[in-house]
Amino acid sequence: MITNKFTMTMLSKSSNESFARSCVAAFASQLDPTLEEISDIKTAVSEAITNCIVHAYCEKIGKIYINGELLDNNTIKLKIRDTGCGIENISQAMEPLFTTVGGERAGLGFAVMQSFMDSVKVRSVKDKGTTVVMTKRISPRYKING
C-alpha cells in the first residue's frame, strides 16, 4: 500500500542533478534511513538523472519526470522517466563499463543503481523514451522514546 507520494517534473539541465537527488533524499528521510541508505539512494538517483541528460536527450533540453512513493513495508519506490531517444539494447546498456559516449563516462550508471538499490527495472522504446523503476527497503530502526 502507498502511504505517501510525490511527483516532480524538471528540465534535463545538469544543474538539476543535485536538485533532484536532494529532493528524493528529503522525501526518503520520512522512512528514517541511515546516512548510508540516504547516500545509496542519492547516488542511484544521480545516475538515473545523468542518463536522461547525457543519453536520452544528448545534452539537449527535455523533461524528466520523477515519481516517488513510500510503501507500507518501509520501502521507497522511484520512477524516473524521460521522453528521449530510448535504449535499443537494454541488457547491453546495463552491462558494467558499457558506454556509447566513451571518453569521461565510466559506463557504470546502471551497475551503481543495481548495487545500491534492491531492484532496478528498465523499460524503453526507441524514440519514445525510457523509464527506470527502482526500489529500496529501508531497515526499520527501533525508536527511542517511542
Partner 1 sequence: MSVKINVTGEVVTAYLGGELDHHSAKEMREEIDSAVELNMPTLLILDFKDISFMDSSGIGLVMGRYRNLQKSGAQMHITNIPQGIYKVMKLAGMERLAQLEKGE
Cα(110)–Cα(5) distance, integer angstroms: 24
Report in angstroms the alpha-carbon separations of 126 from 35, 83, 90: 37, 10, 11
Q: Has 47 been annotated as catalytic?
A: yes
Selection from 58, 57, 107, 110 nearest residue 84 by Cα? 57
Give the sign of the dihedral formed by CA 25, CA 27, CA 33, CA 34.
positive
In the structure grid, which three cell numbers stand for residue 78, read together? 522511484
Q: Point out the catalytic residue in the list 47, 88, 123, 141.
A: 47
Size of the site for partner 1 (CB under 8 A): 25
Which of 4-12, 43-51, 71-79, 125-133 is the region at the interface with partner 1 (rule: CB under 8 A)? 43-51
Q: Build a one-symbol-per-residue string for 67-86: x at contacts with partner 1 by CB under 8 A, - elsewhere.
A: --------------------
Min CB(118)–partner 1 separation in Å: 16
Where do contacts with partner 1 occur on this chain (CB under 8 A)?
A: 14-15, 17-18, 21, 35-36, 39-40, 42-43, 46-47, 50, 53-54, 103-106, 108-109, 111-112, 115
